[in-house]
Amino acid sequence: DQQVKQNSPSLSVQEGRISILNCDYTNSMFDYFLWYKKYPAEGPTFLISISSIKDKNEDGRFTVFLNKSAKHLSLHIVPSQPGDSAVYFCAWRQAGTALIFGKGTTLSVSS
Amino acid sequence: NAGVTQTPKFRVLKTGQSMTLLCAQDMNHEYMYWYRQDPGMGLRLIHYSVGEGTTAKGEVPDGYNVSRLKKQNFLLGLESAAPSQTSVYFCASSSGQGGAQYFGPGTRLLVL
């Protein structure tokens, strides 16, 4: 059973608008959630993370929200730019282990 | 600063052949990982290492072996390649279990 679920395979947004990428998880024992961004033919690059003791973390245009009661987190990108078009993976890290990745959401930002 | 590099970038194998994928990092990281990514899937952990001379199994270790003889290198071996091992392989490293992982550019492997 998938421990990290990204239920939307794709998302299309206009430049300047908000992009919201969602992730659901099943296990309550976690240390950190991380978001990675991946361009074609490149490795994933770390974007932003949130620890289990927080409900929000912000870095420039990127904000991650964590709702522990709903076992849900979301990544907000404001404003969206064409260069943000990529595949976004959320990943769960339980303390002391490697990452468990979701299947990814492909974001397309049109100008 | 090269970060994480992978060799080769692309390889075609016939069923039953063997090969080794090389990962190198110049960030002095303790932890290194091998993942595979298949179409429509997230990355799945094959093996990982928490330091020189150590290795451990991940989620999908069958058919692969690894070695970490030097801190900066992590090798992934396929002893007898199978078509099911056709995938893109990513190596990653981190400074510790609390650090973000940094990924290499990937190796695309096709097994015929």
- For B99-108, the pLDDT digits (tens) are 788 999 999 9
Q: Collect the ranges in chain A with pLDDT lower than 70.
A: 1-2, 30, 94-97
Q: For chain A, positions 49-78, list CB contacts with chain B under 8 A.
A: 49
Task: Give chain A positions within 8 Å (CB) of B43.
Answer: 44, 89, 99, 101
Q: How far apart are CA A19 and CA B63, in angstroms?
A: 40
pLDDT for position B97: 67
**Euclidean distance between CA atoms A13 and A85, whole angstroms:** 9
- pLDDT of B46 reads 95
Helix, strand, coil distribution of chain A in percent, nearest 5? 5, 55, 40
Residue A35, min C-alpha distance to chain B (Å): 10
State how far the Cα of B50 lies from the Cα of B36, in Å rounded to an integer. 19
Q: What region, left, alpha or beta, does residue A71 occupy, with left being phi > 0 and alpha being psi -120 to 50 degrees?
A: left
- Best to test chain A binding among B4, B7, B37, B47 (most A CBs inside 10 Å): B37
The amino acid occupying position A1 is: D
User: Nearest chain B Cα to A9, which residue?
Assistant: B40
Calculate the average pLDDT of chain B.
94
DSSP state of B81: -
- Residue A95 to residue B97, Cβ atoms within 8 A: yes
Q: How far is CA A20 from the centre of its chain?
A: 9
**Shortest CB distance from B101 goes to which of A95, A99, A103?**
A99
Residue B77 scores a pLDDT above 80:
yes
Confidence at residue B98, expressed as pLDDT on a 0 to 100 scale: 66
Query: What would the pLDDT profile of B36-70 be if each residue is shown by its tens digit?
Result: 999 888 899 999 999 999 999 998 999 999 999 99
Query: How many Å lie between the alpha carbon of B98 and the closest alpha carbon of chain A?
Result: 8
Find chain A residues with C-beta within 8 A of B35's C-beta.
101
3-state secondary structure of B90: strand
Residue A44 and residue A86: Cα distance in Å, rounded?
A: 10
Q: Any idea of the CA torsion for A9, A83, B32, B4, to the nearest 10 degrees?
A: 140
Q: Does A104 touch chain B if contact means CB atoms closer than 8 Å?
A: yes
* % pLDDT > 90, chain B: 87
Q: Which residues of B touch A104 (CB under 8 A)?
A: 42
Return the number of other C-beta atoms located less than 10 Å from residue A17's C-beta.
13
pLDDT given for residue A52 in this prediction: 85
Q: Rounded to an integer, what distance in angstroms lies between the CA atom of residue A91 and that of residue A4?
A: 7
Which among B41, B58, B101 is the nearest to A46, CB-wise?
B101
Those residues whose C-beta lies under 8 Å from the C-beta of residue B69, and which sit 6 or more positions away, are B52, B53, B75
